[in-house]
Chains A and B, each alone.
Chain A
Amino acid sequence: MKSSRIFATAWEGLTLNKVRSFLTTLGVIIGVASVIIMLAISAGTEAAIASQINALGANLIIVSPMRGVPGASRTLLLEDAFALEVAVAGVDGVSAEQAPAAQTVKAAGVTLDAIDVIGTTADFPDVRDYAVGEGRYFTADENDRNAKVAVLGAGLALDLFGAESPIGQTVSIGSVKATVVGVMAAKGMVADVDYDGRIYLPINIVLDRLMPSTSLGGDRVRTIYVKAENQDRIDSVITQITAILAERHDVDPAKPDFSVQTQQDIIATQEATTAAFRDLLAWVAGVSLIVGGIGIMNIMLVSVTERTREIGLRQALGARPADVLLQFLIEAVILSLVGGLVGVALGVGGAYLLGEFGTMQTEIVPASIPLAFGAAAVVGIFFGYYPATRAAALDPIDALRRD
């Protein structure tokens, strides 16, 4: 029989029993749609994490105290940051950061409670790719002199001063009265931190006045950000930082009391967790495809049994075993391909709707569409073959006698 005729015959077989055909494809539809949606969710999660981490600034190296190292009480000091600034080659800037407890901030009759305060060094805007919107950031000299100057986050400036320019105004941060010299450009939420709602002070003032207890143990800092000149310098900068800090802290560079990470490291760590999650989802989706395939096989076997007389009759009229085999195999493949198509549509639509109206970020992985579709086709051939061979092996007279 001509292949176009076999196809038409198979199609006819399916359309004669539409409800059953639809129910048969349901398993494949669900399997394919879930492959696409699940891959879109995990890709979306990864992309969200990566974009948040990249938003910290480009070519950043992040130095932080190693947690849980015995005797590592001092760990990172402000002097470490200055030492790195002087000694490490290939660096655009170094910014140390420390955060005291949240403070009450007052200005011109407005009082705001629980405002996050961040003490930084003067390189902060450069290092963290965070532009100044109005006025200027404080200088290294101002930090050295313990000058009482402050820079406001864009949102905080609005809350405190409204439409008025805050530049030159006085704000009190806890016990510190400072003059506003600048307002940062709006940045928004990055990795759950509201950059716009914070106030930025010279780190020396923060350590001296807002965290007096820590000054007994030295000028401890939370994080030192080092900005490499470019991507290629990152490895060399990491090596230098490790060597210098190990010497200053008198520790074995192989067992440091500090950690040196790039954004890529952090992304990779996060991706390792999401990859495990993604693999799990892929397995679930794969299993549901197999279940869908078994559903097809089951229904095709039922169909072969129900249509035994039809098979016998077709054989009586001249159908060869191969014609019967192909008819049923193609029925199974059409079922799974149609299931695959509907599944792709539902999967793409579902992933889009989830991303648009749901709480998760989704990103449709283009490769998942041919993957899921191909898997559906393979499932159809694999699980359709056995019922088809059963049909083809029937003897015409036995098949005709069956009722």
Chain B
Amino acid sequence: MDHNLLIDVRGLLKVYGEAESEVRALDGLDAGVARGEFVAIMGPSGSGKSTLMNILGCLDRPTGGAYILDGRDVSGLSKNELAEVRNQKIGFVFQSFNLLPRLTALRNVTLPLLYNSAEELTDAEAEARARAALESVGLGQRLQHRPNQLSGGQQQRVAIARALVNRPPLLLADEPTGNLDSRASVEIMDLIHALHRQGVTIVMVTHEPDIAAHAERVICVKDGRVLATSAAGESPCLERALQGVELA
């Protein structure tokens, strides 16, 4: 076991449906992400990127294979143990933000603290933490706003603050800029960069080459397997995408 790896997946298998209609969303995927690394995942639509992210985020379980997160095999954990892993180890950022629409930005960011049984924060401490997280993403003036009172970029920043409020070592982002215009995308990428500099390990799925170009390394996925992995700027996924050619 490589202790330098925060994420280590071997022969990951995810099968949807049965027999005739069987879909192998992940088909023996191997990958590793080092601590502190910033990795982008690219690949054509339907190649299994989201399936992989959901398994990495412990939201879904693989049909087969091993997933070692922070030195611990999480494939066999109970529902309660997985909940704790999600709470403590992982911040997940969705393409569609997934904020609770009726709660203020502050309350949305407080949610992970409610389920943090490792730290036992008081209500005041939890609120202070959430406030600080929102300030760190530049939303100190928007604490009491509801999601529908915020722009898309601001909503995604609230979601990032929420993902980070429990200080997890790993940030998973599935097309975080997919719903944003280019200006907001740049803001979000700046924020993710800043987090990376602070030592957070980042795994990000994206379609857009200029977004992927921010990463240190690009993992290229096709048909549920890793096609190639390379330093940013050299990835076959990236090159072809830059040329506007879908990977055949």
**Of the candidates A16, A313, A315, which one forms a contact with B83 in the assembled complex, judged by CB atoms under 8 Å apart?**
A315
Max count, chain B CB within 10 A of own CB: residue among A16, A322, A395, A400: A400
Task: Indicate if the CB atoms of B88 and A318 lie closer than 8 Å.
Answer: yes
Within 8 Å by CB of B117, from A1, A9, A12, A309, lies A1
**Cβ–Cβ contact B59 & A320, under 8 A:** no
Which of the four size classes fits the interface of chain A? 20 to 34
Q: A316-B57, A318-B88 are in contact. Are A1 and B100 (CB under 8 A)?
A: no
A216 at the interface (CB under 8 A from B): no
Within 8 A of B (CB), among A320-343: 320-323
Per-residue CB contact flags for chain B residues 105-117 toward chain A (1 = under 8 Å, else 0) read 0010001101111
B129 → chain A closest CB, angstroms: 14
Scan A300-316; emit 1 where CB is below 8 A from any B CB, else 0: 00000000011001111
Q: Which of B171-190 contact A (CB under 8 A)?
A: none
Across the interface, which residues of B come within 8 angstroms of A1, CB to CB? 114-115, 117
B156-198: CB near A (< 8 Å → 1, else 0) gives 0000001000100000000000000000000000000000000
User: Which residues in window 55-89 of B have CB below 8 A to A?
Assistant: 57, 59-60, 79-80, 83-84, 86-88
Contact partner of B79 among A16, A313, A321, CB < 8 A?
A321
Task: Pick the contact of B87: A5, A313, A318, A395 (CB < 8 A).
Answer: A318
Q: Flag if A313 contacts B100 (CB, 8 Å).
A: yes
A223 to chain B minimum Cβ distance, whole angstroms, is: 74
Q: Is B38 an interface residue when CB atoms closer than 8 A count as contact?
A: no
B115 engages A314 (CB within 8 Å): yes
Q: A396-B59, A397-B59, A397-B60 are in contact. Are A320 and B98 (CB under 8 A)?
A: no
CB distance from B19 to the nearest CB of A (A): 21
Q: How far is the CA of A319 from the CA of B113 in the complex (A)?
A: 10
Given A397-B54, A397-B59, A397-B60: A318 touches B98 (CB 8 Å cut-off): no
Given contacts A320-B84, A323-B115, A397-B54, 19 further A-B contacts (CB under 8 A): A5-B114, A9-B114, A16-B102, A313-B100, A316-B59, A318-B86, A318-B87, A318-B115, A319-B83, A320-B80, A321-B79, A321-B80, A321-B83, A322-B80, A396-B59, A396-B60, A397-B60, A400-B59, A400-B94
Q: Which of B83, B98, B162 has the most chain A CB atoms closer than 10 A to its own CB? A: B83
Contact A317 B115 (CB under 8 A): yes
Number of chain B residues close to chain A: CB under 8 A: 28
Which residues on A sit within 8 Å (CB–CB) of B86? 315-318, 396
Q: How far is the CB of A12 from chain B (nearest CB, A)?
A: 8
Min CB distance A375 to B, Å, is 32
Q: Tell whether, in the assembled complex, residue B92 and residue A316 are in contact, meaning their CB atoms are under 8 Å apart.
A: yes
Partner of A318, one of B83, B102, B107, B123: B83
Binding site for B on A (CB under 8 A): 1-2, 5, 9, 12, 16, 309-310, 313-323, 395-397, 400
Query: B-side interface residues toward A, CB under 8 Å?
Result: 54, 57, 59-60, 79-80, 83-84, 86-88, 92, 94, 98, 100, 102-103, 107, 111-112, 114-117, 120, 123, 162, 166
Taking CB atoms, residues of chain B closer than 8 Å to A396 are 59-60, 86
Most chain A C-beta atoms within 10 Å of own C-beta, residue among B87, B88, B103, B120? B87
> Quick one: closest A residue to B91, CB to CB?
A317
Within the assembled complex, what's the spacing in Å between the Cα atoms of A397 and B14?
A: 13
Task: Report Cα–Cα, A93/B103, bound state, in Å.
Answer: 81
* B residues near A322, Cβ cutoff 8 Å: 80
Q: Which of B103, B107, B115 has the most CB of A within 10 A?
A: B115
A318 touches B84 (CB 8 A): yes
When distances are taken between beta carbons in the complex, the residues of chain A under 8 Å from B60 are 395-397
What is the chain A residue whose CB lies nearest that of B107?
A12
Contact B54 A318 (CB under 8 A): no
Nearest B residue (CB) for A320 = B83
Q: Can you list 20 pairs linking A and B with CB atoms under 8 Å apart? A: A1-B117, A5-B114, A12-B107, A314-B111, A315-B59, A315-B83, A317-B86, A317-B111, A317-B112, A317-B115, A317-B162, A318-B115, A319-B83, A321-B80, A395-B60, A396-B86, A397-B54, A397-B60, A400-B94, A400-B98
Q: Please indicate the chain A residues that have their CB under 8 angstroms from the CB of B112 in the complex.
A: 317-318
CA distance A320 to B117 in the complex (A): 11
What residues of A have a CB within 8 angstroms of the CB of B162 in the complex?
317
B22 CB, nearest partner CB in chain A, Å: 19
Inside 8 A of B83's CB, which chain A residues have their CB? Answer: 315, 318-321, 323
Q: What is the bound-complex CA distance between A21 and B92, given in angstroms?
A: 32
B79 with A320: CB separation less than 8 A: yes
